[in-house]
Structure 1
Amino acid sequence: MNEVIALKQALAERHLPFHEDHVRWLTDAVLRNRFLPRPDPDSIFVGDGDFQAVGAEFLGHFIRMGGLQPQSRVLDIGCGIGRMAVPLTQYLDGDNGSYCGMDPVAGGINWCQRMVSPAYPNFEFRQVDIAHSLYNPKGEINGLELKLPYDSRKFDFIIMTSVVTHLPDEEVTAYLREVERVLAPGGRVFMTAFVVDQSAQENRSKKRDARLGFQRYDEGPCWFVPEMPPLAAVGFDDGFLDRALTRAGLSIVTKSLGHWRGVPADHYQDVFIAEYREDGR
């Protein structure tokens, strides 16, 4: 078997078909499991909705949309206080799968290290002291100079839920450059965002989330909500994130618009799934 054929077979095996009945059973089991760790509501510093319900929902999205496998090596950028990590403990294989979570907020990382890692040793958490005006204003690392503390080609699946929704456009570019570096061949990034397309701008159906009346910031691609701090919710011109992913060397597999803009969808934010391919195609 030559190396090209072997590579193609290896990539195909990373994204095996899922069984819908099993995914439904799994997400329901996560939702109903009262023994899973759950932080005090007052300590949850980011994200709306029920902690366990949102985590179970995204576990389903990762499997159905992203092709996440039990043996995947997962990196969760902006893991917060474990909203995605906790349900993944019920899916990732304890011997072959692994999870690394990173976040600039020490409180969330400390909770995860206390409540998740002791029971699931293949789950590790690390604070990366990235400066952010809302979440870590005294951080030492400039987001434009981000270097993820992981080896190149280490991960099969990277999670970026509600990350670029809090970043200026220049930092999005820096993050995606590092995402490309640490993704293994055939590895995927699952990223949520607010794409300010014509439907979102005009709100013709009057069903857009009332909290997200985005207005353009300047001549750049960013949109902010006037009554909120600038990085509390960031939207981007339609096409900006597509180009940013492509420039980073990633191939877009899925672009799915969410129901925050008042259109039918089974997810709230917009979803991008992109893949690193050694041959660039």
Structure 2
Amino acid sequence: MSEAVLRHEIGPAATVQEDRVSWLMKTVRRNRFLPRPDAGRVFVGDGDFRAVGAEFLGHFIRLGGLRPEHRVLDIGCGIGRMAVPLTQYLDVEKGRYSGLDPVEGGIAWCRRFITPFYPNFTFQRLDIAHKLYNPQGKISGEALKLPYAERQFDFVIMTSVVTHLPPDEVLVHLSEVARLLKPGGRLFMTAFVVDGIAAANASGRRDPRLGFVRDGNGPCWFVPDTPPLAAVGFDDDFLDHALEKAGLAIITKSLGHWRGQDADHYQDFYVAESRGAQL
């Protein structure tokens, strides 16, 4: 499944939606009153905080089908890179956002600078162990249980999450996502899929920071001379099978330009839907 498979409305309504999305993204990028952390406090991800957030807001709407009234769960919300632009889109009365992260500093910043102005946005620290981001964490990633009742959310975000997880923990995370999504709810997930193009490192077309090498006989690819979980790639089809095993049907798989091919996004994107009635 190498090409993006998309479900989009066509016709005049789609044109109106695209005009609105483009306007909204520009507004987010230019709004100097939106909160933005000091660059030194951003502990994951690179690029301009506001511009990256605006870009992903567009992807959530266009590819993911996110709507203003949705209840959103952001796993690995960090220091609010996705939350800030979503404040300009989710309906104040109907929409809800819940952010989870193991890093206390990011959660504290979001609680201070986002929630007081947008009370439908809440943030919670989850003390899950991670060798890089929370080495003293008390919750094993293989025993993860997210603190919500089942079928609570319309839309789950996992940006730059599986790019820092071992395969067993990926399976647990996806199982939890499937438990929490309403029937027809959707997961938006980014990844590094090591397909044939990405594996052919000799061409030099790939992002030189991501010179992945396979880790033993498993599905993981790590970057030499960096901590193993600093960047994790997976064999092509590993995540496809993992999503299927969790009960999530892939509706979009779009490969990014990190591997050297043309794309309008950097990492690889998946949109997967909980089996059941469509949104």
Match of 1:194 in 2: 192
In structure 2, C-alpha distance between the alignment counterparts of 1:203 and 1:216, rounded to whole Å? 12
**Residue 146 in structure 1 maps to residue 156 in structure 2:** no
Q: 1:204: Cα distance to partner?
A: 6.0
Q: Secondary structure at the match of 1:211?
A: helix
Q: Secondary structure at the match of 1:95?
A: coil
In structure 2, C-alpha distance between the alignment counterparts of 1:204 and 1:65, rounded to whole Å? 32
In structure 1, C-alpha distance between the alignment counterparts of 2:158 and 2:231, rounded to whole Å? 15
- Residues 279 and 113 of structure 1, relative CA distance in 2, 3 Å threshold: closer
In structure 2, C-alpha distance between the alignment counterparts of 1:54 and 1:253, rounded to whole Å? 23
Q: Secondary structure at the match of 1:274?
A: strand
In structure 1, C-alpha distance between the alignment counterparts of 2:261 and 2:81, rounded to whole Å? 26
In structure 2, C-alpha distance between the alignment counterparts of 1:224 and 1:203, rounded to whole Å? 13
In structure 1, C-alpha distance between the alignment counterparts of 2:20 and 2:226, rounded to whole Å? 41
Structure 1 counterpart of 2:267, from 266, 269, 277: 269
Amino acid at match of 2:34: L
Match of 1:28 in 2: 26
Q: 1:279: Cα distance to partner?
A: 7.2
Match of 1:206 in 2: 204
Q: Secondary structure at the match of 1:76?
A: strand
Q: 1:203: Cα distance to partner?
A: 3.7
Q: Secondary structure at the match of 1:242?
A: helix
Matched residues, percent identical? 68
**Residue 225 in structure 1 maps to residue 215 in structure 2:** no
In structure 2, C-alpha distance between the alignment counterparts of 1:279 and 1:161, rounded to whole Å? 25
Q: CA RMSD in A?
A: 1.4
Can you give the 5+ residue segments of structure 1 that lack an aligned partner in the other structure?
1-11
Q: How does 1:105-124 map to 2 (within 5 A)?
A: 105-124=103-122
Q: Secondary structure at the match of 1:245?
A: helix
Amino acid at match of 1:148: L
In structure 1, C-alpha distance between the alignment counterparts of 2:202 and 2:196, rounded to whole Å? 9
Q: 1:206: Cα distance to partner?
A: 2.5
Give the TM-score of the pair, scaled to structure 2: 0.93
Q: How does 1:1-281 map to 2 (within 5 A)?
A: 19-203=17-201, 205-278=203-276
Greater relative contact order (Cα < 8 A, sep 6+):
2
Q: 1:278: Cα distance to partner?
A: 2.7
Can you give the 5+ residue segments of structure 2 that lack an aligned partner in the other structure?
1-8
Match of 1:6 in 2: none
Match of 1:4 in 2: none
Give the TM-score of the pair, scaled to structure 1: 0.92
